[in-house]
Every structure is written in C-alpha cells, then in structure tokens.
Amino acid sequence: MTRFAEKEFDDAALKVYEKELLERYPFIRKEVIGYSLLHREICAYSVGEGGALIAAVFHGMERVTGAILTRYLFEKAEEVRKGKTLSFTAIPLMNPDGAQIALDGACAAGRYRMLVQRLSKKTPFRWQANARGIDLNHNFNAGRITLRENEIKNGFVTRGATRFGGTEPESEPESAALCDFCRRNDFALAAALHSQGREIYADFENHAPQSAAIANKMAEISGYTYCEPSGTAVGGGFKDWFCKRFCRPGFTIEIGKGENPLPKETADTEYDRVRAMLDILIEQPSLFREG
C-alpha cells in the first residue's frame, strides 16, 4: 500500500506531503490562492507556466480525490526532476473546511459548528458543502438560473450539506479564490476531480467543443464513461464556468465506484486509471498536434 492510501486526506495530511514535496522538488512553486471560511490555506502547486489546471476536493466527502492528485503531483515532479518538460498546476484541497467536517464532524466547523450541527441533521460525515452550507460546485457563474430552478425543484432551497449554491456566484471565498487564480493565469484546460461513478463530463453549453475529443480519449484509456450530466449536476460547477469564461476545454472526472466517502485505499486501487486520464490532460498539446 502506498502512503497516500494509508491515511485519510485532509489539511494536516497535505501539509505533511507539502513539506516533503517542496524540499525534494524545489522547482515546484507553491501559491496560497486564498483562504477558506475557517482560514485554512487553499494552495496551488505549479510546474512551468500555464498548461493544465487540476483541482480536487470541492466536496467534503470526496477527500480521496485529493490523495490521488497529491500522489500524481509527486510522480510528475519526479519526472520533471529527471528532465521531462511539463506545465501544470495542482490544487489538491479546494474545500478544506468541508473535508474536515466530513472527516471529524461538526466540531471541525469552528464558529459554524451550531449551523453545521443543525443542517447536517446529525450526519456531518456526509457533508459536501463549505463550512456555512454552500455547495462550492454550485457557486460558479455558469447556467445559474437553470441550476437554481433545479435546486428548488429538488428541495435544495437553503443552506445545507449539499447542492445549495447560494444566491450569488463566487459568494464563497473558496470559489472566488479559484476564479481569481484562473483569471490571473493562462491555463490551456482545467479538470475538477470528484467522486464517484467512473464518469467524465466535458464542456458546457458548447463553449469548448474541443473538450469532446479529449474526453473520448480519456474514456477509452480508463474505462470511464463519457456522459452528459442531468438535473442539479448541470451548471454552477467549476468546469462549467471555466469552459464558458475561457472557451477552453474543461472536465469533471468522477473518480471511483461505490458510496461516498470512498475508502482511503481508493488512492491505490483507482490510481492507474486516473493517472492515465490526467496524463492525457497534461500532455494535451501533443494530442492536438497528432489530431
């Protein structure tokens, strides 16, 4: 078993990995792109300029996506150390507060403890939102009107553990930090790692139709299914906003199969499939040349 599958991934685990990563690979640039509601760092780790942006753990229960992305970051850093040229950025923990709540319960929610206790109906271990009950992946500025209608139709009318995107896009410090970071940089494409379902979603409202060819290739290599989202999975997400804002390829990858939270061992059992997909993304300029 690799060490990434031995312990649950959270802010403290990332800090341990980060120390080792930056010591061993001093060419990696760390940037604190913002802070969560409870003032935990949201960190980006970059090699080269631009390229692919890959972000994980938008949802509290999906911490294993962060372990997988961190493992991938170490592996690629080692390749770069050996002379390979790569440009990409990894943000392994977009929602550190939500992940801590899903791991440790309402006691991890600081000044939002009472709110989380009430909203989670005593099941905080199924928490997906940020610390004040906004689902970050419904908080991006894309297709918000339809999304809001679908949220209401499905009973997500106010703050809660999942699927309420708030009343304004980028109202949350976590989503606002990611958007600012994208606007300040020049990423060729972006991918958001979620769990679960072994599915790939791509593009949004045809703003980046070039996403489809890449998604097909990822599906082919991994056995994941490239499909169309429906209901409250349409709009408001990071990949939706990225495609709409930049007309560049954007993807959501639903890692693994089972019930969230997936076991930490998923960082081993699912790794090869995910690595194969991410390799296509970070090497996509060569894919375009071939095609």
| Residue 58 backbone phi and psi in degrees, to 5 | -75, -25
Is the CB of 56 or the CB of 179 nearer to Zn ion?
Answer: 56
User: CA distances (Å), 220 to each of 217, 226, 276, 280, in order?
Assistant: 5, 9, 10, 11
Measure the CA–CA gap between 23 and 50, rounded to whole angstroms. Answer: 23
Measure the CA–CA gap between 193 and 253, rounded to whole angstroms. Answer: 5
Is the CB of 76 or the CB of 163 nearer to Zn ion?
Answer: 163
**Residue 188: strand, helix, or coil:** strand
88, 53 in Cβ contact below 8 A?
yes
Of 60-79, binders to Zn ion (CB under 5 A) are 62
251, 281 in Cβ contact below 8 A?
yes
Tell me how far, at minimum, the Cβ of 237 lies from Zn ion, in Å. Answer: 9
Tell me how far, at minimum, the Cβ of 49 lies from Zn ion, in Å. Answer: 29
Of 177-236, binders to Zn ion (CB under 5 A) are 194
Spell out, one character per residue from 79 to 98, where the chain touches Zn ion: x when CB under 5 A holds, - when not.
--------------------
Tell me how far, at minimum, the Cβ of 255 lies from Zn ion, in Å. Answer: 10
Peptide bond into 284 cis (omega under 30): no
Nearest residue to the partner Zn ion, using Cβ: 194
Tell me how far, at minimum, the Cβ of 74 lies from Zn ion, in Å. Answer: 23
Is the CB of 144 or the CB of 194 nearer to Zn ion?
Answer: 194
Is the CB of 59 or the CB of 138 nearer to Zn ion?
Answer: 59
Measure the CA–CA gap between 225 and 197, rounded to whole angstroms. Answer: 9
Is the CB of 47 or the CB of 224 nearer to Zn ion?
Answer: 224
240, 258 in Cβ contact below 8 A?
no
Tell me how far, at minimum, the Cβ of 26 lies from Zn ion, in Å. Answer: 33
Of 43-62, binders to Zn ion (CB under 5 A) are 59, 62
Tell me how far, at minimum, the Cβ of 128 lies from Zn ion, in Å. Answer: 7
* Number of other CB atoms surrounding residue 259 within 10 Å: 11
Is the CB of 90 or the CB of 193 nearer to Zn ion?
Answer: 193
**Residue 42: strand, helix, or coil:** strand
Number of residues that bind Zn ion (CB under 5 A): 3
Name the residues that contact Zn ion, by CB under 5 A: 59, 62, 194
